[in-house]
Homo-oligomer: A and B are copies of this chain.
Amino acid sequence: MSGRTVTAGVLLIGDELLSGRTQDANLQAIATFLGALGVQVREARAVPDIQEEIVAALNALRGRYDYVLTTGGIGPTHDDITADSVAAAFGVPIAERADALAVMESHYGRALDRPEDDNRRRMARIPDGASLIVNASTGAPGFQIGNVFVMAGVPNIMRAMLEDLPERIEGGAVIRSLTVGAAGLRESDLADGMVRVQDECGVQIGSYPYFTEKSRGVNIVARSTDEAALARAGDALEDLVRAAGGTPERS
């Protein structure tokens, strides 16, 4: 780990995310995971299962951020075109790889040589030059090529694959955060004070109002790589909430 800023883009692949059928849960999991490694997600995109869309988005993101993580489209069916699309984006060939097949055969406990295994073996197709990402959940591996990590879309499989990433990622400064809740207050009661605290403490402050049938309030989030500055900001935000007539809840 170093103090430099290390960034990532996230590419969510799948028609189901854009049709409304599926609620993505992977972006938040990835952002939280990378944040702890000192990698900041700066952009996310969701694209359909269309090769030219995947290629264009991947090439935009991998040129721009230190790392790119993709989810979705690496299963055995016709709509799983991510591996081929990633190979196309990198301009490298793709074919069934012996190491990937061996991993899968080990997981299944038998040779994948029956006629009905043909589709399953699609999951052993890996772009040239990629290294495998272990999938402790279902066997079929993800892969890393260059600065791109290609993972499954099913959330529990994706999270299992994340466990194989830390040693491949060189993180930078870790951004810490704290939240000061201000139940009953409005953002506009706190707006000027938040800017003042942001400037005086040198931290980044975000303001997140909430509204339910029973209550309303604001959560003020301070973020910084500097823990001392963050602690000062927390104290100042508590004072701000009190001055506005609220009872701060720090977490």
Interface check A119, CB cutoff 8 A: yes
Tell me, in angstroms, the Cα distance from A186 to B14 when the chains sit together: 19
Query: Do residues A77 and B31 form an inter-chain contact, with CB atoms below 8 A?
Result: no
Query: Do residues B19 and A35 form an inter-chain contact, with CB atoms below 8 A?
Result: yes
CB proximity of A86 to chain B, nearest CB, Å: 18
CB proximity of A22 to chain B, nearest CB, Å: 7
Contacts A48-B42, A78-B195, A209-B154 given; indicate if A25 touches B23 (C-beta within 8 A): yes
The interface bits of chain A over 33-54 (1 if a CB of B lies within 8 angstroms of the residue's CB, else 0) are: 1010000111111111100010
Of B19, B27, B209, which is within 8 A of A177 by CB?
A: B19
Residues of A in contact with B, size category: 35 or more
Give chain B residues whose Cβ lies under 8 Å from the Cβ of A29.
20
Query: Do residues B42 and A75 form an inter-chain contact, with CB atoms below 8 A?
Result: no
Interface check A249, CB cutoff 8 A: no
Query: Do residues A45 and B45 form an inter-chain contact, with CB atoms below 8 A?
Result: yes
Query: Do residues B188 and A117 form an inter-chain contact, with CB atoms below 8 A?
Result: yes
Give chain B residues whose Cβ lies under 8 Å from the Cβ of A122.
191
Interface check A59, CB cutoff 8 A: no
Most chain B CB within a 10 A radius of its CB, from A23, A40, A210: A23
Give chain B residues whose Cβ lies under 8 Å from the Cβ of A204.
15
Tell me, in angstroms, the Cα distance from A79 to B194 when the chains sit together: 10
> Who on chain B is nearest to A120 by CB?
B188
Query: Do residues A76 and B191 form an inter-chain contact, with CB atoms below 8 A?
Result: yes
Most chain B CB within a 10 A radius of its CB, from A18, A80, A116, A221: A18
Give chain B residues whose Cβ lies under 8 Å from the Cβ of A24.
24, 27-28
Give chain B residues whose Cβ lies under 8 Å from the Cβ of A206.
14-16, 49, 79
Query: Do residues B20 and A28 form an inter-chain contact, with CB atoms below 8 A?
Result: yes
Interface check A5, CB cutoff 8 A: no
Interface check A189, CB cutoff 8 A: yes
Given contacts A76-B188, A78-B207, 5 further A-B contacts (CB under 8 A): A15-B223, A44-B46, A79-B206, A116-B188, A116-B189
Closest 6 CB pairs of A and B: A20-B31, A20-B32, A119-B191, A77-B207, A44-B46, A120-B188
